[in-house]
A and B are shown apart, each in its own frame.
Chain A
Amino acid sequence: MEDPAKIIIIDDNPDYLFTMETFLKRNGYETLTAEDGQKGIDLIEKEHPDLILLDVMMESIYSGLDVCKKVRTNPDLKDIPIIGVSGMGDELGVRLEKWGDEDYFKVDEFFEKPVDKEKLLPKIKELLEEGLIKKGKAVRIGGKLYPKK
């Protein structure tokens, strides 16, 4: 059996970390957590996860923006899919499209808090599959994913 995909959750809210960790573990993923941007960066560099779930508006000095920049400018890490999460949305004009202008701030998907977990799961699955294809570990044939030998 394949190893479960490794997801790093970075958020400055410990309650969120615990509930999201519980949720993802119960859905078959291996999870690691970090409660601020700096710890998140260290963990990503050490663990090379398959996906990052990142609070983009942490109230810590190293924000989600810094984490994203670090990942996207590191050739070893730049292809790791990132799902950005934030409680700030339209009301402050904070939108994914706006951040997309910054070359270093490219999240693959954005979810507003409270995160709709029913929508999150299929998105994680899709991004993990794309990640495998990018890494050359799998191919998609007729809509189905096959591991590459």
Chain B
Amino acid sequence: MEPKEGLIDRPDNSGIIVDLGFRTILDLLPCYLSIQNRSLQILFTNENFRKDFGEGVGKLCHMAYKRSSEICKSCPVQKSFKDRKVHISEEDVQLSNGKTAQLVVYSAPILDVSGNVSAVIEMSTNITQVKEIQKELAFLGQSLAILSHDIKNILEGLQGGVYVVDEGIKDGNMELAGKGWDIVKRNIGEISTIAQNILYSSKKRDPKYQKVSPEEMVKDVVGLFLEKSMALGIQLKHRSNPALPVMNLDPTNIRRMLHNLIWNALEACKKDKEKHTHAVVVRSDFHDRFHFKFEVEDNGVGMDEDAQENIFKEFFSTKGSEGTGLGLLVVDKIVKEHGGWVEVLTAPGKGTTFRVILRMG
């Protein structure tokens, strides 16, 4: 029911009155806006909010934005109630159409005549696209850093090869010169690999789909790591559901993705000094009626909340100087190119499962 002309009365009698003239202006604002009371109950929402999150009034903020029964970890509204200041945070939310979005949220206190905070106005902007671009740029930047590393290695190879050729010629030792020449040729060949990497990281490419068996791919990639895992004393097993049919996937990229995840899992086990035995299990199985999944599970060090939140957001590595964080970003990129998503189940000290969910077909 529409409120009576001029005033909007709110259920908790918080004294917040929104003039209908202002309401029209608030509705027109190109951002999400809500007014909330101390218990984070929504008293007012603008048009944009209602369009993407539903009515909202009367609901708790975290229920309306995230469909979560828990209050957000760094809730800016609570902070504004507490210190009467403006606060900013970034939140992942779920729109009423089921899509997720990233918002930058501002909260500001509304003071009554005696200077007490009677409500908090919360305004947020959808920055999903900005975040995507940021991630792309970070990806590009880090890719260039890795390429620079690769180029230095090739230069090392070329200089070394030339040195050996020179020494061979100096001594009239054609066998030595020949060995040097082989090194030079190999490193020239490496340059073409680098060129491919540049292509991969600098432009959005559509996957080259083929009918392939997920089970075969899991077996292939696990096979590459058997020797390494044995040397580390880590059990590496694969468990695939044989009923899973062949799927339309880009096999090169899916292998690259599995490679990165298994590598990370072995690293996580290697870092764990608490448990006596370590295992990495790689699975392919049905997820639901429309999706199937790849899973890489380890009982390594696991991740804390901070690490978990950051792994796909930016270049983040828990491996210190051993890793650049490129691996998981490549995983994320490949999975997105396939129209899928990644779930991470982890607990510090217990282990991590990366679950890649892709559409069947």
Q: Do A and B bind each other?
A: yes
Q: Which of A10-18, A71-79, A121-129, A137-145 contacts B (4 or more CB under 8 A)?
A: A10-18
A87-105, CB < 8 A from B: 87-89, 91-92, 94, 98-99
A115 to B322, CA, bound (A): 21
Interface assignment of B231: CB less than 8 Å from any CB of chain A: yes
Smallest CB separation, A26 vs chain B (Å)? 6
Q: Tell me if A16 and B149 are in contact (CB < 8 A).
A: no
Contact with A along B113-153 (1 / 0, CB 8 A): 00000000000000000000000000000101110111011
Interface assignment of A61: CB less than 8 Å from any CB of chain B: yes
Q: Tell me if B321 and A13 are in contact (CB < 8 A).
A: no
Name the residue in B144, B146, B179, B321 with the highest tally of chain A Cβ atoms < 10 Å from its Cβ: B321
Q: Which of B152, B176, B231, B322 contacts A113 (CB 8 A)?
A: B152
Contact with B along A50-72 (1 / 0, CB 8 A): 00000011001101010000000
Smallest CB separation, B271 vs chain A (Å)? 11
Q: Tell me if A87 and B149 are in contact (CB < 8 A).
A: yes
Smallest CB separation, B138 vs chain A (Å)? 13
Contact with B along A20-64 (1 / 0, CB 8 A): 101100100000000000100000000000000000110011010
Nearest CB in chain A to that of B324: its residue: A92
In the bound complex, residues from chain A placing their C-beta under 8 Å from that of B187 are: 15
Q: Tell me if B183 and A15 are in contact (CB < 8 A).
A: yes
Interface assignment of A117: CB less than 8 Å from any CB of chain B: yes
Q: Which of B7-15, B92-100, B159-167, B302-310 contacts A (4 or more CB under 8 A)?
A: B159-167
Smallest CB separation, A114 vs chain B (Å)? 4
Interface assignment of B186: CB less than 8 Å from any CB of chain A: yes
Q: Tell me if B159 and A114 are in contact (CB < 8 A).
A: yes
Q: Which of B155, B163, B179 contacts A23 (CB 8 A)?
A: B163
Q: Which of A60, A91, A115 contacts B156 (CB 8 A)?
A: A115
Q: Tell me if A22 and B228 are in contact (CB < 8 A).
A: no
Interface assignment of B232: CB less than 8 Å from any CB of chain A: yes
In the bound complex, residues from chain A placing their C-beta under 8 Å from that of B231 are: 38, 61
Q: Which of B153, B164, B321, B322 contacts A19 (CB 8 A)?
A: B164
Q: Which of A15, A22, A89 contacts B186 (CB 8 A)?
A: A15
Smallest CB separation, A127 vs chain B (Å)? 21
Q: Tell me if A99 and B157 are in contact (CB < 8 A).
A: no
Q: Tell me if B232 and A15 are in contact (CB < 8 A).
A: no
Q: Tell me if B160 and A99 are in contact (CB < 8 A).
A: no
Smallest CB separation, A126 vs chain B (Å)? 22
In the bound complex, residues from chain A placing their C-beta under 8 Å from that of B266 are: 61
Q: Tell me if B155 and A114 are in contact (CB < 8 A).
A: yes
Q: Tell me if B322 and A63 are in contact (CB < 8 A).
A: yes
A61 to B148, CA, bound (A): 22
Q: Tell me if A18 and B179 are in contact (CB < 8 A).
A: yes
A94 to B150, CA, bound (A): 15
A89 to B183, CA, bound (A): 24
Known A-B contacts A38-B231, A61-B228, A61-B270; A117 and B163 likewise in contact (beta carbons under 8 Å): yes
Q: Tell me if B148 and A91 are in contact (CB < 8 A).
A: yes
Smallest CB separation, B88 vs chain A (Å)? 27
Q: Tell me if B150 and A87 are in contact (CB < 8 A).
A: yes
Q: Tell me if A16 and B157 are in contact (CB < 8 A).
A: yes
B310-359, CB < 8 A from A: 321-322, 324
Interface assignment of A112: CB less than 8 Å from any CB of chain B: yes
Q: Tell me if B167 and A94 are in contact (CB < 8 A).
A: no
A20 to B160, CA, bound (A): 7
Known A-B contacts A38-B231, A113-B156; A19 and B149 likewise in contact (beta carbons under 8 Å): no
Known A-B contacts A15-B183, A16-B156, A113-B153; A65 and B322 likewise in contact (beta carbons under 8 Å): yes
Q: Tell me if B232 and A113 are in contact (CB < 8 A).
A: no
Smallest CB separation, B159 vs chain A (Å)? 5
Which 4 A-B pairs rank lowest in CB-CB distance, beginning with the nearest? A19-B160, A114-B156, A87-B152, A91-B145
Query: Could you name 24 residue pairs across A and B whose Cβ atoms are closer than 8 Å?
Result: A15-B183, A15-B187, A16-B156, A16-B157, A19-B159, A22-B164, A23-B160, A23-B163, A61-B266, A61-B270, A65-B321, A65-B322, A87-B150, A87-B156, A88-B149, A91-B144, A91-B145, A92-B145, A92-B146, A92-B149, A94-B321, A112-B152, A114-B160, A115-B156
Seen from chain B, the residues whose Cβ lies within 8 Å of a Cβ on chain A are: 142, 144-146, 148-150, 152-153, 155-157, 159-161, 163-164, 167, 176, 179-180, 183, 186-187, 228, 231-232, 266, 270, 321-322, 324
Extra A-B contacts (9), CB below 8 Å, given A87-B149, A114-B160:
A15-B161, A16-B157, A18-B183, A26-B167, A87-B152, A87-B153, A89-B152, A91-B148, A98-B321
